[in-house]
Chains A and B, each alone.
Chain A
């Protein structure tokens, strides 16, 4: 399920809309993940405040969405481009890769809410493929 040139163009165009909204989109997605899939909270036991407006959730949401933006820029070779992020997730964070799918789904829900007209099925499939490729690149160094 590799990304065609058309997929890459679609992702670049669509993600440009997110650029102005990184903290809002990111913190919304992270908060949804923690609420809808409570098992994900196990990675954040060190946070005192997991509420939607909390500093932790907002900062982490922004970090993640900025990371995705970085991946969009390196969309032609995600494995190489995300090498250091993959090492971080593999050796330090050790997030079970199933959770990438969970967060991806929450991101898609936020995109549907934020851009109801533009998040057409055609854009959805390209973004979904990209996020799946991103998850694969992030788990590349796991074993």
Chain B
């Protein structure tokens, strides 16, 4: 089981408890699709992804970004039980959507950069370390049911 310090718990609650899901989700997902274009393979039914401008204004992408970031809720609300909390989502990503788990890492890198741009200097090294640890744990849990 993952050990969390008080500082880590507080930081995670502060950031993810107060996140603007619509803005951050849309920005993080569109950034992922632009910076790592091969991730678009999972979005064949999402309409126009022809260029960066189209991706950034695509309402289906914005909505899905929100959904993805809400997927983090079950982690920060269940810090002591993340593995179990993600069993169902892990099976979904592996058996139904067939997502290469490396994409989780790519999305998390873009999410980190989105948070950094939003929080500015408040996103200091110690905060970044907590966010990184949290996201790595979530990614591991999401990959757990792959076989």
Q: Measuring CB to CB, which residues of chain A are less than 8 angstroms from any residue of chain B?
A: 31-32, 35-37, 52, 105, 108-109, 112-113, 116, 119-122, 124-125, 128
Q: Please name the 9 residue pairs, one residue from A and one from B, whose CB atoms are nearest each other, closest first.
A: A121-B34, A35-B125, A116-B117, A112-B117, A112-B116, A36-B129, A125-B35, A32-B125, A121-B31
B128→A32 contact, CB < 8 A: yes
A125→B34 contact, CB < 8 A: yes
| Beyond A36-B132, A112-B117, A120-B52, 14 additional pairs, beta carbon < 8 A | A32-B125, A36-B125, A36-B128, A105-B109, A109-B113, A112-B114, A113-B116, A116-B118, A116-B120, A119-B113, A121-B30, A121-B52, A124-B34, A125-B35
Instruction: State how many angstroms separate the Cβ of B31 from the closest Cβ of chain A.
Output: 5
Residue of B nearest to A122 (CB): B52
Q: Which listed residue (B31, B118, B123, B125) contacts A124, Cβ 8 A?
A: B31
Sampled A-B contacts (28; CB under 8 Å): A35-B125, A35-B128, A36-B125, A36-B128, A108-B113, A109-B113, A109-B116, A109-B128, A112-B113, A113-B116, A113-B117, A113-B120, A113-B121, A113-B123, A116-B117, A116-B118, A116-B120, A120-B52, A121-B30, A121-B31, A121-B34, A121-B35, A121-B56, A122-B34, A124-B31, A124-B34, A124-B35, A125-B35
Report the interface size for chain B: residues with CB under 8 A from the other chain: 23
- Tell me, in angstroms, the Cα distance from A125 to B119 when the chains sit together: 21
